[in-house]
């Protein structure tokens, strides 16, 4: 074993970074044996230097992250600051100064992955980011390496722990959205500003990364159709239950049937209780990968949290250090298929539409006519009179598989009917 240590610069020492530092220290001997050389924490960049950081030598702490990555003797930079800047500039500088990079930063990779891969390749360095998608769950490496000989056609799953916790609570306790969000915040799942999670930005970034790797193409974050969970109501959850379903925020990346394009979308969807994703509870993640030769694979585990995410970071650190000692690099970006990303209008799926309608003769026929005119076939209809002074009824229509664009046209036409007082919710039905 080489005795001269490989030097690691840690950028960020928060929820994830502090666990990375802890495991590097407590498992130092095992890591050295697995890599073939010891790894040494050479510096830790943070924003607040006076904060007490248990188990970390205060002499290693700096607020000058740029100087740390420019030192020239750093072998690997671990970026766990988050956000686009200064992380992007620091990673690029790290490559220029001879370091490989391990990052957990899905926002940055979804925003600027191709440029970062190009910079890594230009300087002959590694860029690894297993922790950026689904925390501890090995997903990036299985897609990039284990399934490199297969053809992946679909990746579908729950990739955001916070929203899964909220939807799970709404389902199991009957809580409303706000109440469930408050509980997620109190338990430390949701951040003070939960926008990235509840509006689907976090899941969309992960979907962009997964689609790019799975289909060997580039999928920008702006090309991922995104809907969050803020509009999901207790009534939607109850309606899903009546259909033998539950509601999950899904990320779905698909190769088109003709193989000439891909789609990536994130939205709440009803899935049957018999589907394996329906039993993914609390803040857990699970992802299905469908590949031509392998068939269906399911990956399940903790998708967030300091220790689980640090596990993925450490796995990458070991891989990158091994490459460094071998004088090689691992797989870089594979985007040779150059498949275009189709708009969501071309997606075909089933829909659950909940309408508030006037409770009088002929309304059902009017509504059914609109669906027929748009070429959307109805599977089931459930109407319930509210017996209220406004004379309204709830009408729930579940369709057969239809084009997303046809469904949008249907909803637009329904809104124009005098007898339709409101479209309470529209939700896709998946996983059947
Ligand atoms: P935190 O907010 O807990 O930690 C961020 C760290 O970065 C803090 O130590 C902070 O310093 C430091 N920091 C912030 N700005 C700067 C700066 N300009 N220069 C130097 N240091 C800076 O974030 P997390 O640990 O939760 O997340 C880190 C990354 O991991 C993100 O990309 C996130 O998306 C990703 N991730 C997180 C998961 C999780 O469950 N938390 C799961 C999967 C991925 P200080 O301590 O002084 O404030
Ligand atoms: N906020 C993210 C989640 C963290 O809840 O899943 C893990 O990426």
pLDDT tens series, the chain, 432 aa: 888 999 999 999 999 999 999 999 999 999 999 999 999 999 999 999 999 999 999 999 999 999 999 999 999 999 999 999 999 999 999 999 999 999 999 999 999 999 999 999 999 999 999 999 999 999 999 999 999 999 999 999 999 999 999 999 999 998 999 999 999 888 878 777 899 999 999 999 999 999 999 999 999 999 999 999 999 999 899 989 988 999 999 999 999 999 999 999 999 999 999 999 999 999 999 999 999 999 999 999 999 899 999 999 999 999 999 999 999 999 999 999 999 999 988 889 999 999 999 999 999 999 999 999 999 999 999 998 877 777 899 999 999 999 999 999 999 999 999 999 999 999 999 987
- From ligand 1's centre to the CA of 16, what distance in Å? 7
- From ligand 2's centre to the CA of 252, what distance in Å? 17
Other Cβ atoms less than 10 A from the Cβ of 410: the count is 24
- Distance (Å) of CA 108 to CA 87, 116, 216: 8, 9, 19
- Distance (Å) of CA 1 to CA 39, 99, 239, 320: 12, 21, 62, 17
pLDDT attached to residue 132: 97
Q: Identify which ligand lies nearest to the alpha carbon of 105.
A: 1
Q: Which atom of ligand 2 is nearest to the CA of 309?
A: 7
Strand pairing report for 262-272 and 225-226: parallel
Q: Does 206 participate in catalysis according to the annotation?
A: yes
Q: Which atom of ligand 2 is nearest to the CA of 206?
A: 8
Rg of the chain over Cα atoms, rounded to whole angstroms, equals: 24
* Verdict on whether the full-model pTM lies above 0.75: yes
Distance from the Cα of residue 331 to its chain's centroid: 22
Q: Are 108 and 196 in contact (CB under 8 A)?
A: no
Q: Which domains does the chain have, with CATH numbers?
A: 6-136+307-326 (3.40.50.720), 158-302 (3.30.360.10), 347-429 (3.30.70.260)
CA-nearest of 311, 326, 333, 327 to 127 is 333
pLDDT attached to residue 285: 97
pLDDT attached to residue 291: 98
- From ligand 1's centre to the CA of 140, what distance in Å? 21
Of 7, 122, 206, 360, the active-site residue reads 206
The dihedral formed by the CA atoms of 64, 65, 66 and 72, expressed in degrees to the nearest 10: 110
Pocket of ligand 1 (CB under 6 A): 11-17, 45-48, 51, 65, 80-82, 86, 104-106, 131, 135, 304-305, 309
pLDDT attached to residue 53: 95
pLDDT attached to residue 261: 97
Q: Which atom of ligand 1 is nearest to the CA of 48?
A: 47
Tokens matching residue 65: 């992250």
Q: Identify which ligand lies nearest to the alpha carbon of 308.
A: 1
Q: Identify which ligand lies nearest to the alpha carbon of 157.
A: 2
Q: Which of 9, 19, 46, 304 to mutate to test the pocket of ligand 1 (most atoms within 8 A of CB)?
A: 46
Which residue has the CA at smallest separation from atom 8 of ligand 1? 14
- From ligand 1's centre to the CA of 334, what distance in Å? 28
Which residue has the CA at smallest separation from atom 8 of ligand 2? 304
- From ligand 2's centre to the CA of 58, what distance in Å? 29
Pocket of ligand 2 (CB under 6 A): 135, 160-162, 197, 202, 303-304
Return d(Cα 32, Cα 9) in angstroms, integer: 17
């Amino acid at each position: 074993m080489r005795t001269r240590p490989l030097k690691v610069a840690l950028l960020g020492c928060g929820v994830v970074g502090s666990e990375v530092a802890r495991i590097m220290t407590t498992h130092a001997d095992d890591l050295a044996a697995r890599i073939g050389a010891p790894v040494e924490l050479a510096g830790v960049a943070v924003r607040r230097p006076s904060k007490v950081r248990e188990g970390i030598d205060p002499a290693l702490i700096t607020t000058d992250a740029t100087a740390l990555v420019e030192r020239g003797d750093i072998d690997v930079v671990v970026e766990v600051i988050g956000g686009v800047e200064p992380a992007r500039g620091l990673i690029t500088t790290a490559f220029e100064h001879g370091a490989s990079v391990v990052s957990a930063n899905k926002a940055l990779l979804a925003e600027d992955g191709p440029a970062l891969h190009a910079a890594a390749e230009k300087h002959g360095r590694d860029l690894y980011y297993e922790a950026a998608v689904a925390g501890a769950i090995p997903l990036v490496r299985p897609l990039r390496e284990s399934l490199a000989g297969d053809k992946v056609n679909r990746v579908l799953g729950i990739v955001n722990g916070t929203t899964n916790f909220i939807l799970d609570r709404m389902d199991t306790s009957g809580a409303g959205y706000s109440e469930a969000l408050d509980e997620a915040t109190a338990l430390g799942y949701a951040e003070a500003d939960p926008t990235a999670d509840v509006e689907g930005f976090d899941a969309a970034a992960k979907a962009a990364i997964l689609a790019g790797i799975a289909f060997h193409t580039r999928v920008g974050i702006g090309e991922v159709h995104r809907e969050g969970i803020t509009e999901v109501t207790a009534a939607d959850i109850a309606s899903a239950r009546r259909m033998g379903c539950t509601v999950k925020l899904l990320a779905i990346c698909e190769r088109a049937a003709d193989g000439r394009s891909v789609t990536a979308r994130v939205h709440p969807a009803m899935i049957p209780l018999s589907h394996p994703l329906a039993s993914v509870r609390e803040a857990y993640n699970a992802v299905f990968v469908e590949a031509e030769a392998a068939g269906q694979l399911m990956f399940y585990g903790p998708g967030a949290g300091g220790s689980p995410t640090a596990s993925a970071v450490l796995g990458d650190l070991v891989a990158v250090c091994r490459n460094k000692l071998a004088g090689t690099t691992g797989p870089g970006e594979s985007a040779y298929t150059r498949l275009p990303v189709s708009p969501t209008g071309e997606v075909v799926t089933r829909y659950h539409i909940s309408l508030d309608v006037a409770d009088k003769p002929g309304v059902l026929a009017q509504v059914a006519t609109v669906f027929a005119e748009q070429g959307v076939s109805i599977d089931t209809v459930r109407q319930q009179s509210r017996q209220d002074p406004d004379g309204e009824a709830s009408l729930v229509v579940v369709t057969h598989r239809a084009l997303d664009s046809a469904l949008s046209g249907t909803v637009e036409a329904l809104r124009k009917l005098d007898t339709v007082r409101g479209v309470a919710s529209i939700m896709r039905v998946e996983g059947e």
